[in-house]
Structure 1
Amino acid sequence: MRILFSSTPAHGHLLPLLPLARAFRDRGDQVAVLTAAAFAPLLHAEGIELVAAGPTADVLFAESGRRTGVDAAADPRPEAVADFFAGTRVDLTADDAVAAARAFAPDLIVAEALDFVGPLVAASLDVPHATMAFGPAIPAEFTDGMYALVASRYADRGLAAAPARWHLDPCPDLLQPPGWQAPANHVAVRPEPHQGPGTPGTGAGAGTRGEHPRVLVTFGTHFSDPATLTPILAELRTVGVDLVVTLGLTASAADHELPDSTPGTNAAGDITFVPFTPLADLLRDVDLVVTHGGAGTTLGVLSRGLPLVVVPQGADQFLQAAVVSATGTGIAVQPGPDVPESVAKAVVTLRTDPSYAEAAGKVAAQIATMPTPSEVAARLTESLS
């Protein structure tokens, strides 16, 4: 079969699709990903074809900001989010995507939850599609506006939006909002922290452990601003932990000028800066995680039973922060002038109060019971045969 995945051109949207894409690939299916051309190196390393269409996220944010006067990444109000995903991205991507996808001739399209191009392509080509969530259910105040806006794009093309045949969901029930009910087309799929190509967990991790607790600090690929991270790191140096710090895609260790330090050390223990590294490798030997709260990072960390400190920066990260706080799997630190001190205090609390690790362990146990990507790929293939 020919399976086309479709994703917003951002790592946080694309990476959670890869476990299922690999599962189809390993079954012998022809697999491709529809997204911006900039992701060719990542997909080439996976042995997965790129079907290129549409501009990169920075171009989309600039155009959406011009239309709305709002930066949807930093200020995720519903109308700005709707324009970015269901307006601007569809306008700048859909026509090229339909042409490129027609050449690929998919039997099934799998679109991540905030990708509105894939379902429109499916309607254009008259093929079934599935949506794949990447975290807890998105509140209706956001989804209603997106569905209403994208409806005009279907109408402009003489198309009718078709419902997804499956709603693939990597979020365990324990992390869903109160009152959530699974839709009739719901199919659970076990989330996995991002891993590099090949066998899980074989890449370079964080190195040999020292004598202190080890804390991973990761703010994802696009939110690792040194202006935000450096004060947090400086404060964490005071609480007796070793730090492993990811640098995102653009920063370097030299961007973090930490007071009273020498390269590679801090007052309490080691500090190690690492470039973009698969999360599965980084989680192998840490005690807890300080993160911006990206959905993929949050689920990946909790799948390992590790508690979190979530410091949301934008996008849907405030949703993950609220879920982590409500479930007792970690502590949320909201924006404000005392963020560094609050993060350091939260790390101490997670180290001394075992209830957070216990709650994270319960989530990990539930995740372990969910169907694997391979099992889900087999189910979908059998249903389409």
Structure 2
Amino acid sequence: MRILFSGTPAFGHLLPMLPLARAARRAGHDTAFLTHPSMARAVAPAPVLPAGPTVDAVLAEVVRRTGADATTDMTPATPAEFFGRARVDLGADEALAVTAAFGPDLVIVETADYLGRLAAAANGVPWVSHGVGIALDHVLARAMDEAAAGRFAARGLRATERIASIDPWPDSLQRDDWKPSPDRIVIRPEPYDSDDAASWSTPRFPGREDRPRVLVTLGTIVDDDEVLATIVASLEPHDVNVVVAVNPAADVETLRVDRTRVRPVGFVPMRRLLDGVDVVVSAGGAGTVLSALRTAVPMVLLPMGLDKPLNAERVANVGAAVVVHRPEEIGDAVAGVLGDPSFRTAAAAMARQMTDTQSAAEVLRQVLVRMP
């Protein structure tokens, strides 16, 4: 079978689908990713079918059309313009051409991707939704669906059947008013790893091995040296070892820190970064949150836009994180988490919940049984 995976060209949108793509290849299926070529290394060894613009190009198009900033505006109209209209308009012709050549039997799309759904419609095959975080609010989801439906209709296409909704987000972290869809399949989330990182070794802190280790990351989108520097400064009085994972596009050397106790690193798979970590400090991105919980590491969260405040609220609600609102507050919050074992206990409970869910191979088998 030929299985096409499709997603917005951003780490947080594509990496959650990699375990299922690996399971598909191990089961003997042909796989490919429909996305921008800049993500080829992240999704390797699956080939990329190049289609659609970069995230920055779509952001610029949304600003040109509406004046809105889709990185901060979560009112339904702006994400609907970004995902349902602008990204489809800029990538549809290319997506339809490359997917016709690939000839998929099934398309698996991340929640907010409509180019993959368009390809499924054009090829007359079913599709599967793959979540990346907390389920979208129904008003927002409807706005995005309606925006994309207009683009489909303009090409004489109608969406084909969705046969499953794959969800890596635990029930206990969903909204209080959330109800699962009837076709939902829960998948065990896995921190991202890569064979390319095999030679990477965990940073050492000679003479300081007995200190707690703190991982600081603002994720793969946010690039703010000033915030990172403030966070690191807030940690200094607490005598901890700090690993700072900077934005993939950032220069590690520009971060001015005391390198006897702070190790800045570039893009490293989260599975490797979490080795030996006692607390994660992050902006609350879904991938970082799930990865930390999967490995039973508590968090201090400084939410920085979009879905991150909700992610942070839900993790704090189960007792696995402290939420702060200024970077200066992070040092004291980390000390509080380190000094209170209830945070690690809560994170370990979440890790057990995730371990008890289905593997990617098991989920794949369930999906294929639903094929018409």
Asked if these proteins are the same fold (TM beyond 0.5), I'd say yes
The residue number in structure 2 matching 1:273 is 264
- CA–CA distance in 2 between the matches of 1:346 and 1:79? 36
- CA–CA distance in 1 between the matches of 2:351 and 2:89? 40
Q: How does 1:136-175 map to 2 (within 5 A)?
A: 136-175=134-173
1:237 alignment partner, SS class: helix
Cα shift at 1:37: 1.6
Contact 1:135 1:296 in 2 (8 A): yes
Deviations 1:354-378 (A, max 9, x none): 2221111111110001111111123
Letter in 1 for 2:177: G
Match of 2:340 among 335, 353, 357: 353
Q: Residues 163, 381 of structure 1: CA spacing in aligned structure 2 closer, same or farther, 3 A cutoff?
A: closer
Query: Does 1:10 pair with 2:10?
Result: yes
After the TM superposition, which segments of 4 or more aligned residues of structure 1 sit over 4 Å from their partners?
200-203
Match of 2:203 among 202, 206, 220: 206
Contact 1:206 1:282 in 2 (8 A): no
1:111 alignment partner, SS class: strand
Bigger Cα displacement from structure 2, 26-35 vs 354-363: 354-363
Normalising by structure 2, we get a TM-score of 0.94
Query: Does 1:308 pair with 2:295?
Result: no
Q: Residues 237, 77 of structure 1: CA spacing in aligned structure 2 closer, same or farther, 3 A cutoff?
A: farther
Q: How does 1:1-385 map to 2 (within 5 A)?
A: 1-43=1-43, 46-197=44-195, 203-207=200-204, 210-258=209-257, 261=258, 264-265=259-260, 270-334=261-325, 339-384=326-371
Cα shift at 1:346: 1.4
- CA–CA distance in 1 between the matches of 2:146 and 2:51? 24
Letter in 2 for 1:276: F
- CA–CA distance in 2 between the matches of 1:150 and 1:364? 36
Letter in 2 for 1:347: V
Cα shift at 1:160: 2.1
Structure 2: tracts of 5 or more residues without a match: none
- CA–CA distance in 1 between the matches of 2:74 and 2:95? 26
Cα shift at 1:203: 4.6
Letter in 1 for 2:256: E
1:9 alignment partner, SS class: coil
- CA–CA distance in 2 between the matches of 1:64 and 1:206? 41
Contact 1:131 1:168 in 2 (8 A): yes
1:145 alignment partner, SS class: helix
Cα shift at 1:128: 0.7
Bigger Cα displacement from structure 2, 176-185 vs 163-172: 176-185
- CA–CA distance in 2 between the matches of 1:203 and 1:303? 21
- CA–CA distance in 1 between the matches of 2:229 and 2:154? 48
Q: Residues 253, 238 of structure 1: CA spacing in aligned structure 2 closer, same or farther, 3 A cutoff?
A: farther
Contact 2:34 2:51 in 1 (8 A): yes
Deviations 1:137-179 (A, max 9, x none): 1212321221221121122122222341100011111211113
Cα shift at 1:235: 1.1
- CA–CA distance in 1 between the matches of 2:234 and 2:296? 25
Cα shift at 1:76: 3.2
2:330 alignment partner, SS class: helix
May I ask how many residue pairs the two structures share in their alignment? 370
Contact 2:81 2:144 in 1 (8 A): yes
- CA–CA distance in 1 between the matches of 2:116 and 2:350? 31
1:285 alignment partner, SS class: coil
- CA–CA distance in 2 between the matches of 1:68 and 1:283? 40
Contact 1:194 1:279 in 2 (8 A): yes
Deviations 1:295-315 (A, max 9, x none): 111111111111111112223
Q: Residues 221, 95 of structure 1: CA spacing in aligned structure 2 closer, same or farther, 3 A cutoff?
A: same
Q: Residues 27, 207 of structure 1: CA spacing in aligned structure 2 closer, same or farther, 3 A cutoff?
A: farther
1:115 alignment partner, SS class: coil
Deviations 1:169-208 (A, max 9, x none): 111112111132221101111000110138x988533346
Q: Residues 333, 140 of structure 1: CA spacing in aligned structure 2 closer, same or farther, 3 A cutoff?
A: farther
- CA–CA distance in 1 between the matches of 2:203 and 2:100? 44
1:95 alignment partner, SS class: helix
Contact 2:281 2:299 in 1 (8 A): yes
- CA–CA distance in 2 between the matches of 1:163 and 1:332? 40
Normalising by structure 1, we get a TM-score of 0.91
Cα shift at 1:77: 3.1
1:384 alignment partner, SS class: coil
Task: Give identity over the alignment, percent.
Answer: 39
Q: Residues 31, 357 of structure 1: CA spacing in aligned structure 2 closer, same or farther, 3 A cutoff?
A: same
Letter in 2 for 1:166: A
Bigger Cα displacement from structure 2, 73-82 vs 221-230: 73-82
Cα shift at 1:78: 2.6
Contact 1:195 1:201 in 2 (8 A): no
Letter in 2 for 1:256: L
Structure 1: tracts of 5 or more residues without a match: none
